[in-house]
Amino acid sequence: MAWCATLCAVALFGARQAIDPTILDGKVLLGYQGWFRTPHDGSPSKAWRHWARGAPEPGNFEFDLYPDVSALGEVDTEAVPGLTIAGRPARLFSSYNPRVVAKHFEWMQKHGLDGVLAQRFLSDLPLLRLEKDQVLRNVRDAAEKSGRVFAVEYDISGADSSALTKTLQDDWLMLRDKLKLTASKSYLRHRDKPVVSIWGMGLNEPGHPPVDPKIAPEIVRWFKKEGGCTVIGGTPAYWRTRDRDARPDEAWSAYYRRLDVVQPWTVGRFDSLEGADHWAKDRYGPDLAETEAWSQMSMPVVFPGFSWHNLKPDFRLNQIPRQGGRFLWRQAVAAQKAGVRMLKIAMFDEVNESTAMLPAASTRKQAPDQGVWLTLDADGTSLPSDWYLRLAGQITRAFHSRLPLPAEPPRP
């Protein structure tokens, strides 16, 4: 009870305070996809991007976790043809709409969250550059208004390997010099340098360039020297041992050692409380020791659960159960005990793989009547729609204060 009272007092104070944008240490950041579109949102896409493959109907949906959009209202959402919730039109949002993104950051402010790593997919450039630029403007404006922080995180999945280096360099210079993102009072900096994250290099999967390990450290070198950045690397989970999801060539170690921050991708690498415990023992401590030996920082990724049945029907619904928040909490507790000082939570808005932390339908009756959906009561616990933002807020405050998290999460 004393722990809860202290954290609640910190919460009331912290939610009113702007987050310090000058330091990365102690931060808990959420990934922010920002890739959702609707046909009448004013974007060039004019389509249900990342909501459905073509017409939004059962069999075509690309997401399992249905978001609770009640706080957005009809003005900033769009009715989905043929989809109803309790007989009323079901609605969805677009990240292209600045008021939607502003509301997302209001929620972060309300719950005392630090801010986001805003995803920028190289494979979408240059075709969707105008849309992606607008989303970053939305994020910047919302972060400034709400007192949160943000930084760019490049995702290199599916990028053209032959143009990888030039595409990254040209785009960063454009964001810095033309859009002037790093001049924002809310752009996250560390040691007086803007933070940039590059996710996906070193993953031993098709579509994750570069194949040549000599290219990756040169990219980091350029961002540090020419870009003037603090560089986070979104690495394979097994980056340190160079096995399983990581490319095995020893030359990749040169890339990992050039990074300022190592951010191993853990989503789907374990699927139970016991698995989280084993992961903590095998990875958190040893990874932290390795980074400290090279004067780096460690930023593990924690996630609430996983499901992508509508995106990939061969996989079962609720593949990695959230367990009412216990799964996410267990990871955060273990990371803190291992001495980890910062976290990334995957993700704020990733309803496609059901790692989203934003408000979601609490019960099946609050999701569309048509289709198959994952709701927050899937594991038998009645939860408010913003439950995971509440948990994220408590985790964030514990990392700020360095008060140890209790073994079990609070009850709803």
**Cβ-based neighbours of 274, under 8 Å, separated by 6 or more:** none
Give the pairing of strands 193-199 and 149-155.
parallel
Query: Is residue 7 over pLDDT 70?
Result: no
Query: Is residue 9 over pLDDT 50?
Result: no
Rounded distance, CA 243 to CA 222, Å? 27
**Cβ-based neighbours of 321, under 8 Å, separated by 6 or more:** 305, 327, 378, 379
User: How many residues would you count in the chain?
Assistant: 412
Query: Where exactly are the structural domains of the chain?
Result: 22-401
Reported pTM: 0.96
Confidence of residue 12 (pLDDT cuts 50, 70, 90): very low
Structure confidence by residue, pLDDT tens digits, 366-380 = 999 999 999 999 999
Q: Is the dihedral of CA 213, 219, 224, 229 positive or negative?
A: negative
Q: 22-401: CATH homologous superfamily?
A: Glycosidases (3.20.20.80)
Rounded distance, CA 412 to CA 276, Å? 22
Residue with token string 């139970």: 272
Rounded distance, CA 231 to CA 224, Å? 7
> How confident is the model at residue 372, as a pLDDT?
97
> How confident is the model at residue 16, as a pLDDT?
61
> How confident is the model at residue 127, as a pLDDT?
86
Structure confidence by residue, pLDDT tens digits, 101-145 = 999 999 999 999 999 999 999 999 988 999 999 999 999 999 999
Structure confidence by residue, pLDDT tens digits, 204-235 = 999 999 999 999 999 999 999 999 999 999 99
Structure confidence by residue, pLDDT tens digits, 310-348 = 999 999 999 999 999 999 999 999 999 999 999 999 999
Confidence of residue 15 (pLDDT cuts 50, 70, 90): low
Rounded distance, CA 37 to CA 214, Å? 37
Percent above pLDDT 90 for the chain = 95
Rounded distance, CA 381 to CA 153, Å? 34
Give the pairing of strands 88-92 and 149-155.
unpaired
Percent above pLDDT 70 for the chain = 96
Q: Which two tokens stand for residue 105?
A: 């950051």
Query: Is residue 42 over pLDDT 70?
Result: yes
> How confident is the model at residue 269, as a pLDDT?
97
Average pLDDT over residues 167-174: 97
> How confident is the model at residue 13, as a pLDDT?
47
